A and B are shown apart, each in its own frame.
Chain A
């Protein structure tokens, strides 16, 4: 039995998971139009390679990755491209980004890449290449390009692959449903990823509020004859954070500013593992994902397997949405999600949940009151930070102190805001502060670069000036020495020479 440790702080909000009936998965209807953003991941946006009017098949490449920190996008079904232009995205900013709009033809014809059954014989590099070509990004919510995450190099040896089946956020049951319905695929996916990173040990962590999932995964592991450890631990929010689950299951902390690979671990979402298996074994790129549709404003909450690019309102209408007064649709969970302003926005690789609460279920936050310095936030913080100090310094825009108080170790889980008796939206302050600090860093780099270019230019101009001066001085010296040779006036001497030559020419007819 593995020793289970505890993380500092954490909260126990009501989990409200039974509302979305985990374990029951249905397919969402294919909508009439799909909008595929070219950026569904962290990093450089992909570039569209299809033209307006072109017909595509399911699984066909629609946008190409641009460099290493980029992920391609594939068509979830067959149809015709009707536009490549900016459209509203499901993003906290409400801004638009380029989307490839696909009009589906309902035939769902596919063109798969080649799949392999003997993935054990392939080299890790070959497998990573397939994973990259399949457009796989982290499906837990951050969207980090999986191929980059797995490509670590010899400097960071990996001992354990950790599959993060925690899903600690209330309401969300997408991973729970995946683990119950696709346990065998999860096991094989985990084995593939462990082979890629060279991990000798596979560990699947699941919170103890998912007994069904634990049973199914353990059974599947046994059946596969695989040496996979399934560890369960008490339910607490936010145990599902990467650094938190590592601390719980291994007792080790990921160093501040570091990544789990620094201590020999790679952590993946179960959805990512299943997608990797699908890509390698079946040749299917990432085109669908499980989305939890929940909230009391829905008549038929549940988990659906939806095409990427499905407009949010299509999924919610299918689930029986009743639009109430001041109805919010939250992309993600109640702790870390954000409200979507435009319901025509599509779901993407990172959409794990759409939450449609009624006002009585999740009341609107009241106005923030003054901080009373009670310190509850510091008690709740799972990263052992000082949220109160971060709050004061974020208000004062004191970037130096914010960095000293480890602002960038904040995982933005919202536990501090949950316990704050003054209902201060603490995480908003931290996100704003992080953005400002990143901005300032960028500006500093730019101005350092500009200064170097300016000084180089000055040096070049000075050098040119000096060279010109030197040449002029040399010419002057040469003229003077020539004058010394020829006598008084070199010009006169030249005139005489010309006259003499002319006289010569006149002489000879």
Chain B
């Protein structure tokens, strides 16, 4: 499926050639916000799996990967509330992954941030400024 962009994203060929670049980016941003809850849910599922696994390190790596994906996309699309939370989650997860001993408080901290991510994502109140085209 090269040159295409997955089932849950709008194909670039579908975007009108007449649209300006900023219009297209605004449309992508709008679509991402509209589906924010769906983007965050897989992380919640992985987090629950991590708890159920009795804190298996490999499952936490999957949680990190999921959060990292959200962080990357939300930062490029300027979705600041989710960008901020997902970055905080990444830092917290890294600290747990790198700790020599199990740190229950740090693990709980990850859960708090993920809960906040899902609260924000499902609130329907996420607004984002236009993507900064001037750097």
A binds B: no
